[in-house]
């Protein structure tokens, strides 16, 4: 705390010394009453709104300032601060007096009087526009590079897997070469995907997208996504949900990524028995729902000397020379990183050879309004049963290697494959021919696969036609495109290369 001596030798009095410090602060500082009316600010804030006097902002609201177009969101954020009574962080967008759009990180907390009553909010905002632009440029470069490298790798893997299978006339030596090429290519693709994940990890804490979330619906979607791998290994999947769970506020994509990672690990390290997902409501106090999520398995477990290391970057509980379990040791590190941004914590209980249990706890804000705007994507919609005689499918892909390999996999499964190489032709084919289902590359020329699906779904609905199953495959990372694909009306998204296992997944959905 500053003493009286701190003011000696200064031209500022004790009364205006802190005003001077506030105006020297590089971030914009402001305070409002419960109605959103500004009570004051510092000079940095004044410069943002284009006013010349501190008195001019008093009595104004966000609807009176240059960022009036974003005022509804700002008001909503202010209400959350008052509702939950604690410091909250927001990434907000606004407009300056000169018309420039900016992105800021805002820290807001309740403004209380001497009796402890909340009388408004106080906040500070830091302009991060340049940082966000640099991040977007970097992400765009990574996405383009990832796509351009995954596409030829997908072709190599697809063709070499076909060579490895061969036919009755294929020499065993040629099949062996195909197996070796395919194995090496898959290792290269896995390593590349891991490198991309590591690079993207630094962005996972930023930009939390909070929205209403139905945990029950998310859990059932996770069950649907895990069914193919659980079925393949002959395991049981147990889902236990608390019916009292409310709609909460959280980042659905990040939470889904955390749980998918834990469930995938559980399946990976379990040879027999079961994998379970349990979500329990522990309590609701002050509009905060304490929720416990458990992912448990009957797998190989974790050695005691590894329990405190498994969340470290690149740590592998099973060394690379034990080739039974592949991986690069970043999955649980990514889980821990995402949990930091979600405000959750995780504990692990395990004995080697007796399975493992990961327990997560969250304090989610409870969402009280209607369910119309719940952001949770519901489980994949059921589609009409395909009769055995309906064996014609549409394949849309513009890369020759990938097209040939994927077409061969489908033909080997006795499908009649109609091939197109651009989006406009794909849309025309969908509207003029009958198909059992369609498989579209997201990055088609002339019209992207997502746009093809949007147009077709609208055309399909207008004519009252039965819903055609449409699946996508991509050389981009799945987390980059999955939500957009679901919103467009696609039923599921696969990473390239498309494999026989992916085909089995489609058959199970159908």
Distance CA 231, CA 494 (A): 18
What pLDDT, on a 0 to 100 scale, did the predictor assign at position 208? 65
Higher model confidence: residue 136 or residue 115?
Answer: 115
Contact 275, 267 (CB under 8 A): yes
Closest CA to 427 of 473, 387, 389, 460: 460
- Cβ partners under 8 Å of residue 48, min gap 6: 28, 66, 94, 96, 97
Query: Tens digit of pLDDT for each residue in 413-428?
Result: 889 999 999 999 999 9
Question: Where does the pLDDT of residue 257 fall: very low under 50, low under 70, confident under 90, or very high at 90 and above?
Answer: confident
Quote the strand ranges of 286-430, DSSP E: 288-297, 345-350, 356-365, 392-396, 416-420
> HSE on the CB side for 105, CA within 13 Å?
10
Pair of tokens at residue 315? 């740590």
CA gyration radius, the chain: 27
Question: Where does the pLDDT of residue 323 fall: very low under 50, low under 70, confident under 90, or very high at 90 and above?
Answer: very low
> HSE on the CB side for 374, CA within 13 Å?
19
Contact 418, 440 (CB under 8 A): no
Quote the strand ranges of 143-247, DSSP E: 211-213, 236-241
Higher model confidence: residue 1 or residue 238?
Answer: 238
Pair of tokens at residue 447? 């019209």
Q: What three-state secondary structure class fits 447?
A: coil
What pLDDT, on a 0 to 100 scale, did the predictor assign at position 307? 66
Question: CA of 81: how far to CAs of 4, 88, 104, 105, 287, in Å?
Answer: 34, 6, 17, 15, 12
Give the 3-state secondary structure percentages of the chain, helix then strand then coil, rounded to 5: 45, 25, 35
Percentage of the residues of the chain whose pLDDT score is greater than 90: 32
Pair of tokens at residue 458? 């609208």
Distance CA 221, CA 158 (A): 29
Q: Is the peptide bond prior to 50 cis by the omega test (within 30 degrees of 0)?
A: no
**For residue 68, what is the DSSP state?**
G
Average predicted confidence (pLDDT) for the chain: 81
Distance CA 303, CA 88 (A): 39
**Which pTM does this prediction carry?**
0.44
Average pLDDT over residues 95-122: 91
pLDDT greater than 90 at residue 311: no
Contact 307, 348 (CB under 8 A): yes
> HSE on the CB side for 258, CA within 13 Å?
31
Backbone φ and ψ for 474, nearest 5 degrees, come out as -150, 155
Higher model confidence: residue 382 or residue 286?
Answer: 286
Length of the chain in residues, anyone? 510
Q: In what helix (H) or strand (E) does residue 91 lie, and over which residues does it extend? A: strand 88-95
Opening angle at CA 398, ends 392 and 401, nearest 5: 90
Strand pairing of 392-396 and 437-441? parallel
Contact 248, 365 (CB under 8 A): yes
pLDDT greater than 60 at residue 487: yes
Buried b (16+ CB within 10 A) or exposed e, 456-490: bbeebeeeeeeebbbbbbbbbbeebbbeebbebbb
> Cα 330 to the chain's mean position, in Å?
17
Higher model confidence: residue 6 or residue 147?
Answer: 147
pLDDT greater than 70 at residue 390: no
Query: Tens digit of pLDDT for each residue in 328-348?
Result: 445 677 788 778 778 888 888
Q: Which residue has the tokens 């905060």?
A: 288
What pLDDT, on a 0 to 100 scale, did the predictor assign at position 331? 60
Closest CA to 453 of 410, 394, 365: 394
């Amino acid at each position: 705390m500053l003493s009286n001596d701190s003011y000696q030798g200064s031209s500022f009095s004790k009364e205006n010394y802190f005003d001077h410090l506030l105006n020297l602060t590089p971030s914009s500082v402001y305070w409002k009453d419960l109605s959103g009316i500004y009570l004051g600010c510092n000079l940095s804030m004044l410069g943002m709104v284009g006013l010349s006097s501190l008195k001019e902002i008093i009595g104004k609201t966000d609807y009176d300032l240059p960022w009036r177009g974003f005022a509804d969101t700002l008001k909503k954020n202010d209400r959350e601060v008052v509702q939950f009574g604690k410091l909250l962080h927001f990434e907000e967008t606004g407009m300056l007096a000169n018309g420039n759009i900016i992105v800021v990180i805002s820290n807001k907390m309740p403004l209380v009087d001497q009796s402890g009553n909340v009388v408004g909010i106080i906040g500070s905002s830091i302009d991060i526009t340049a940082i966000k632009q640099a991040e977007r440029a970097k992400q765009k470069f990574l996405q383009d590079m990832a796509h351009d490298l995954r596409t030829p790798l997908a072709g190599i893997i697809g063709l070499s897997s076909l060579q490895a299978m061969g036919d009755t006339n294929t020499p065993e030596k040629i099949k062996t070469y195909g197996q070796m090429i395919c194995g090496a290519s898959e290792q290269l693709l896995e390593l590349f995907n891991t490198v991309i994940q590591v690079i993207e990890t630094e962005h996972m804490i930023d930009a939390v997208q909070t929205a209403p979330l139905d945990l029950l619906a998310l859990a059932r979607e996770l069950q649907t996504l895990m069914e193919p791998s659980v079925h393949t290994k002959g395991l049981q999947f147990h889902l236990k949900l608390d019916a009292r769970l409310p709609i909460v506020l959280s980042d659905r994509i990040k939470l889904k990524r955390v749980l998918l990672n834990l469930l995938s690990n559980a399946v990976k390290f379990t040879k027999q028995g079961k994998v379970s997902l349990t979500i329990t409501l522990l309590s609701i106090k002050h509009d905060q729902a304490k929720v416990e999520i458990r992912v448990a398995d009957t797998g190989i477990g974790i050695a005691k000397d590894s329990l405190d290391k498994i969340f470290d970057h690149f740590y592998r509980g099973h060394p690379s020379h034990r080739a039974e379990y592949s991986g690069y040791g970043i999955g649980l590190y990514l889980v821990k990183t995402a949990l930091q941004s979600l405000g959750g914590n995780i504990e692990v209980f395990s004995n080697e050879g007796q399975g493992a249990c990961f327990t997560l706890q969250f304090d989610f804000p409870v969402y009280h309004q209607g369910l119309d705007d719940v952001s949770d994507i519901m489980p994949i919609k059921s589609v009409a049963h395909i009769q055995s005689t309906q064996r014609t499918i549409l394949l849309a892909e513009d890369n020759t290697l990938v097209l040939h390999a994927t077409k061969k996999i489908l033909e080997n499964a006795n499908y009649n494959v109609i091939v197109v190489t651009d989006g406009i032709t794909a849309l025309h084919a969908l509207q003029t021919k009958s198909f059992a289902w369609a498989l579209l590359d997201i990055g088609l020329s002339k019209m992207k696969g997502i746009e093809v699906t949007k147009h077709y779904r609208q055309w399909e609905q207008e004519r009252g036609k039965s819903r055609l199953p449409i699946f996508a495959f991509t050389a981009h990372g799945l987390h980059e495109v999955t939500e957009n694909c679901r919103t467009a009306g696609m039923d599921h998204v696969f990473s390239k290369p498309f494999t026989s296992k992916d085909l089995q997944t489609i058959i199970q959905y159908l």
